[in-house]
């Protein structure tokens, strides 16, 4: 009888609103907040382990679990350590680096990427995926450029939105990073960026704004650096004025691991969840070091004695609860899936579509069937998944370029020579590649073997470039030079002399110098392509996939042709009174191709460049009056004049005839990737709105489009414009 009475009482009790997902999100948040103690609120604002923050067990509110991205789901680590937890079921699909995704110039690929990696995160029980990255490519020496989407704010803005939406349809929050102005890795914790407001709004913020306003991002990660002499985790202008007040962001700001430095500053700013802080509690071995985080016990003490406002606390907790209801307590989210055939196919498709054919003299590529191919180079066999910093992965498998080419052309037709020895390490944070790349031979011996074998082959495919060792494509370090490491330039020159049918495949997330460019008939930019790297490369080299990738950043002919280096502002000047380095972005809005245009320098390969195994002809551009708020519509016919089906990225650049303020020679304001059959003509149209014609007026703090005459330039790259048409803004 007693048990029955208890059950009846429980059944008749009102269900808390926060458990009733038929109520509005804000109603559920407010109800949950009203039931929480001060201690429970504070506990939600800081880490309880390396990658999780506390929920409220008493109320059934679960923990929040984050995972590193943006190229795959990081292996599990121990509760308090970076060391591996030793799981045997946490080997993920490694997707191509974001430079490869950006090089596809295809928003459909971005959505496929987001959905696929979101499914893997959901399957592993993660609530926040720490990615994608959209920091602008300011210098080719930045070790973390491979995690970003290139030099142009428009391209990055278009590509980030479907990625975010794809991730979040799985009930996993995309955490867009690193907000903001984290444009190099060296001294990243101590670099104070000085940038004018026009440059900030036109170049470095648009992709973050698009992720928030168009992508609906549920979380943002604040960066390590300082802006206006304040660490970004404490920066009220970036986190409150711009992100929340101007853009309407209602999600959570997550600190980068160890990015918080002061309790009073961080609780006053719009930073919500603190991770990775190295506090006195950690160094002194407190029983629960996480209680000593800046937003933990120190915050609680300030709340209890009145130094901190409970209203400010509640604003932070509301945002965290909103994230919980969107993710961990979202009963509509799917179950996800992990290392599925569909994810392998997605990785292969995205990788192949992002590969860029830089040069192809006399149609050397694609490789002919039944020929003897010599593959040379360490990157043909080296794992590119382990290493590089927090994006290092433990993958279920990795098809190397050599394996992919042998699978496609036959093992008997593809031989291999090492050529050079670079980085032989294959370990990062306890994950090992399982490779032993040590080679006792001298550089001269390795080169002699490769050259001898090259003379006897029908084709030579050199696969080199950078790797993910410190000082190359790697977090927390930058490159020292634009050149290739390990004596690769000398080896390539020798191979070119031994066999004129040479293909150089550069695997990197950065531009590199190519002093041998005129000696090599075919050059391919292959990026870090993940689990399906070898298959994706073989698809393109064989012609099974017609290359359609375009460069998302400029390949400069020399480092002095980059604004940050020409002006000597990279990486900054150390202050006499401390460790802070001041880095002034004196090139302003002239980043990438904008700088090359202004200085009339010819790059090695221009922004947007990429060839095909077919050819495309552009017809005459026409202009029609705009509708639905557009100023004009520009249309150009594009014809496939070759013999293969192919895809072309048609690019729209806008210039102003007589600008009232200093403006770039031209700016990317539209693109369309169109698939065209041989002999077919497709009309590609670009509606142009006032936003495409606007600049940011810093004094008035608003976007302005001044009446005048503009030119729409349409072409295959920033350096290959094929058609143009003038129009007026009344």
Q: Which residues are catalytic?
A: 256
Question: Residues near 385 by Cβ (< 8 Å), separated by ≥ 6?
Answer: 72, 94, 392, 393, 394, 395, 398, 433, 530, 531
Residue 458 token pair: 């029908």
For residue 587, which phi and psi values (nearest 5 degrees)? -75, -15
User: Which 3 state secondary structure label does DSSP give 440?
Assistant: coil
Sign, CA dihedral 535-540-542-543, equals positive
C-alpha to C-alpha distance for 100 and 98, rounded to whole angstroms: 5
Residue 617 token pair: 């002809």
Sign, CA dihedral 306-307-312-313, equals negative
Question: Residues near 88 by Cβ (< 8 Å), separated by ≥ 6?
Answer: none
Query: At CA 329, angle to CA 74 and CA 134, rounded to 5?
Result: 45
User: Which 3 state secondary structure label does DSSP give 158?
Assistant: helix
Residue 25 token pair: 């999100």
User: Which 3 state secondary structure label does DSSP give 324?
Assistant: helix
8 Å CB contact between 277 and 224: no
Residue 92 token pair: 């993920």
Report the run of H or E that residue 525 belongs to, with start and end: strand 522-525
8 Å CB contact between 118 and 67: no
User: Which 3 state secondary structure label does DSSP give 522?
Assistant: strand
Question: Residues near 141 by Cβ (< 8 Å), separated by ≥ 6?
Answer: 184, 478, 479, 480, 481, 482, 510, 559, 570
8 Å CB contact between 224 and 214: no
8 Å CB contact between 635 and 684: yes
Would you tell me how many other CB atoms lie within 10 Å of the CB of residue 515?
Answer: 12
CA-based nearest residue to 64, from 75, 50, 74: 50
Name the region of 417 (left: φ>0; alpha: ψ -120 to 50; beta: rest). Answer: beta
For residue 582, which phi and psi values (nearest 5 degrees)? -95, 120
8 Å CB contact between 464 and 379: yes
Q: How many residues does the chain have?
A: 730
Question: Residues near 214 by Cβ (< 8 Å), separated by ≥ 6?
Answer: 157, 161
Residue 72 token pair: 């795959």
């Amino acid at each position: 009888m007693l048990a029955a009475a208890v059950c009846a009482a429980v059944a008749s009790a009102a269900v808390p609103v926060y458990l009733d997902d038929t109520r509005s999100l804000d109603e559920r948040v407010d109800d949950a907040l009203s039931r929480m103690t001060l201690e429970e609120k504070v506990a939600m604002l800081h880490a309880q382990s390396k990658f999780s923050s506390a929920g409220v067990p008493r109320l059934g509110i679960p923990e929040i679990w984050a995972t590193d991205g943006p190229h795959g789901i990081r292996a599990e680590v121990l509760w308090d350590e970076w060391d591996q937890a030793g799981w045997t079921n946490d080997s993920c699909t490694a997707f191509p680096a974001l430079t490869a995704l950006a090089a596809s110039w295809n928003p459909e690929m971005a959505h496929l990427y987001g959905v696929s990696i979101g499914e893997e995160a959901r399957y592993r029980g993660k609530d926040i995926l720490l990615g994608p990255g959209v920091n602008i490519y300011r210098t080719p020496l930045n070790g973390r450029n491979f995690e970003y989407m290139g030099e142009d704010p428009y391209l990055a803005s278009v590509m980030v939105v479907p990625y975010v939406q794809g991730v979040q349809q799985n009930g996993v929050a995309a955490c867009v990073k690193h907000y903001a102005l984290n444009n190099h890795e060296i001294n990243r914790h101590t670099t104070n960026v000085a940038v004018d407001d026009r440059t900030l709004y036109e170049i470095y913020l648009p992709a973050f704004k698009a992720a928030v306003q168009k992508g609906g991002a549920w979380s943002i990660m604040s960066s390590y650096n300082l802006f206006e002499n304040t660490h970004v985790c404490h920066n009220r202008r970036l986190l409150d004025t711009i992100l929340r007040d101007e853009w309407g962001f209602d999600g959570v700001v997550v600190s980068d691991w160890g990015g918080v430095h002061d309790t009073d500053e961080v609780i006053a700013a719009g930073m919500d969840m603190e991770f990775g802080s190295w506090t006195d509690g950690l160094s002194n071995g407190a029983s629960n070091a996480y209680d000593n985080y800046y937003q933990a016990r120190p915050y609680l003490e300030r709340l209890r004695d009145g130094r901190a406002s409970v209203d400010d606390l509640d604003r932070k907790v509301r945002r965290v609860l909103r994230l919980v209801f969107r993710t961990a307590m979202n009963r509509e989210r799917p179950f996800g899936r992990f290392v599925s055939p569909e994810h392998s196919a997605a990785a292969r498709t995205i990788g192949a579509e992002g590969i860029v054919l830089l040069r192809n003299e006399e149609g050397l590529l694609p490789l002919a069937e039944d020929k003897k191919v010599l593959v040379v180079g360490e990157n043909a066999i080296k794992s590119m998944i382990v290493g590089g910093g927090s994006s290092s992965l433990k993958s279920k498998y990795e098809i190397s370029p050599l394996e992919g080419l042998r699978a496609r052309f036959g093992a008997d037709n593809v031989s291999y020579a090492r050529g050079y020895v670079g980085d032989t390490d294959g370990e990062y944070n306890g994950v090992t590649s399982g490779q032993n790349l040590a080679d006792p031979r001298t550089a001269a011996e390795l080169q002699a073997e490769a050259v001898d074998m090259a003379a006897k082959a029908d084709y030579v495919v050199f696969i080199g470039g950078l790797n993910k060792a410190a000082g190359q494509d790697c977090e927390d370090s930058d490159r020292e030079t634009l050149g290739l490491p390990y004596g690769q330039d000398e080896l390539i020159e020798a191979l070119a002399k031994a066999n004129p049918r040479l293909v150089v495949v550069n695997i990197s997330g950065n531009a590199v110098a190519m002093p041998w460019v005129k000696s090599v008939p075919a050059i391919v930019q292959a990026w870090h392509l993940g689990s399906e790297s070898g298959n994706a490369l073989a698809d393109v080299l064989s012609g099974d996939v017609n290359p359609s990738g375009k460069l998302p950043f400029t390949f400069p002919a020399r480092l002095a042709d980059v604004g940050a280096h020409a002006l000597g502002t990279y990486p900054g000047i150390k202050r006499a009174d401390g460790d802070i380095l001041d880095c002034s972005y004196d090139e302003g809005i002239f980043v990438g191709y904008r700088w090359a245009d202004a200085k009339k320098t010819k790059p090695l390969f221009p922004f947007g460049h990429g060839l095909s195994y077919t050819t495309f002809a552009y017809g005459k551009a026409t202009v029609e009056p705009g509708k639905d708020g557009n100023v004009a519509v520009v249309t150009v016919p594009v014809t496939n004049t070759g013999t293969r089906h192919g895809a072309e990225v048609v690019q729209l650049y806008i210039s102003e005839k007589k600008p009232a303020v200093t403006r770039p020679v031209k700016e990317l304001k539209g693109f369309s990737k169109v698939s065209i059959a041989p002999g077919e003509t497709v009309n590609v149209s670009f509606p142009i709105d006032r936003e495409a014609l606007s600049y940011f007026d810093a004094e008035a703090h608003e976007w302005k489009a001044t009446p005048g005459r503009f030119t729409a330039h349409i072409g295959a790259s920033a350096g290959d414009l094929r058609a143009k048409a003038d129009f007026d803004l009344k």
